[in-house]
Structure 1
Amino acid sequence: MPLTTRFAPSPTGRLHLGHVVSALYGRALAGSDGRFLLRVEDTDRIRCRPAYGAALLKDLTWLGLRPAGAVRVQSAHLSQYEAVLRNLQARHLLYPCSCTRREISARSTVTAPDGSRVYPGTCRNRNSHPPGRPLAWRLNMQAALEEIRGEPEWQEIGRLAGPGRQRGQAAAFGDIVLGRRDSGVAYHLCVTHDDALQGVSCVTRGMDLLHATSVQRVLQVLMGWPEPVYAHHALLLDAEGRKLSKREGAEGIFQLRQAGWSAHEVLAHPLVRKTLEVSLP
């Protein structure tokens, strides 16, 4: 059956070679019979910039990476994500949290599978909060797992993670934030909602997001959304073996264009080619 994949960057900087890997990987798995979609994940009001979103679309067009159908821009659909939050609130699966990052860091003693600090549950049974302090909304993970009767699995078809059924570790993440105090909605909620809405049947992304699948599968089961298959690709690394990042000055597509690179040369860049070779099934 043909697959529907998506490339879903956040406009927090210019497109770089790591993005090219992700886009090519998704397009390759969709194949000529499938659908390759583009989604702009710009709900982070602090880090995302409209100018980066416009530049992202321009660079993708120059590279010839054109999606099937209209581009979905998450910031234009906040009411849909807020409706999911209200659904979970009505089911008593969320609770308000007034803890600051400093407070969480001071109290947390456990690390999640992705390296983040696990929330210690300070506000889980709190009846009041400091006046004037903004609230986030956290998923009561234990209650959620009890409702869906345990950890969901997922089907991995990627070469690196080991194809086959994978068992989730959502409990190890603790009570994650689904409603941010700044933007109102969080990544896990938005991405799982949109994958279901857009009919994404194969989620393609980097290995740095492998562990996030556990949490997103919980949300899919809670909301009755379809279960896609997953394919995680290798990360594009620099000479020292570190992940290339736009925050650390990774080679940007714009800079390569300015240096005289053609679109074909960028798509065939040795780092891009090498990363795809070890990733594609």
Structure 2
Amino acid sequence: MAEALVDLLAKVRERSRGLLLRLEGRYTVVGDLHGDYATLQRVLNEWPPPYLFLGDYVDRGDKGLEVVEEVFRLLLEGKAAVLRGNHESPAMNVDGGFLDELCEKLGRGCGAVYKEFEKTFAALPLAAVVNGKVVALHGGIPLGENMRPAPLNRLATLEGDLTIPGDPLAFQILWNDPCNCDDYLPSPRGPGAWLFGREITKTFHALHNTRVVVRGHTYVSAGCATHHGGSVVTVFSSTAGPYRKTKPKIAVVSDGVEVFDLYTKSRAACPEDVDLLL
């Protein structure tokens, strides 16, 4: 099992297309899964490919290994685009549960396999632009040193080790959240992360000629939320572990974003401008 897993991870790294994807077409978008293999299987059985996964495949749920393996296989089969979440990092996996899960399932040698996961997570793209109009990422809009939105094309210039990652642009894409405010605020998540408001979102879309940001990252019991007049949409899909009361949602993205209930397949009424702090 370990040898096959290491081979899978190496193939994912070989498939790397950089930190910013340019995608065309219609995608089924899946939010945080956190080891929720049952929800992933339901998506694959009932919603069409290609899929766009927003990150956080592991930690908190007990089937993170099964989820991330399946997602990576879909990537290699050309059926999915796979973004990185903030939980695809050793900074989270030690306390979040994935490292322990890996060692329970693989036994001896799990540490060496986890090192392969670290390298693979670091190679995953951080954002995707779909049909030139929708920006998909895990956390939120990154801010530059002037505290204005940073252009996504800067992702092509990032160098060095992204395992944690230490680069502010990469870190913020994984960790930032929208807020019901005008500009920006320090994030309760800790140093280096920010809450971004309506004016930041407006400037970001003007800079990139885009319309909507679709993101995951934040638990919402309703499974979705809209922010800043619908120009930011949060999608959360996990019902694993602490998220068992979630009403999971997925989104369909083409030139815009439509959110659907995973079970009923009906259009979802997402709460507006809720404060997402954790």
What's the TM-score, normalizing by structure 2?
0.28
Identify the structure with the greater helix proportion.
Answer: 1
Name which structure has the greater RCO, CA cutoff 8 Å, separation 6+: 1
Higher share of residues assigned strand: 2
TM-score (norm 1): 0.28
Which of structures 1 and 2 has the bigger CA Rg? 1
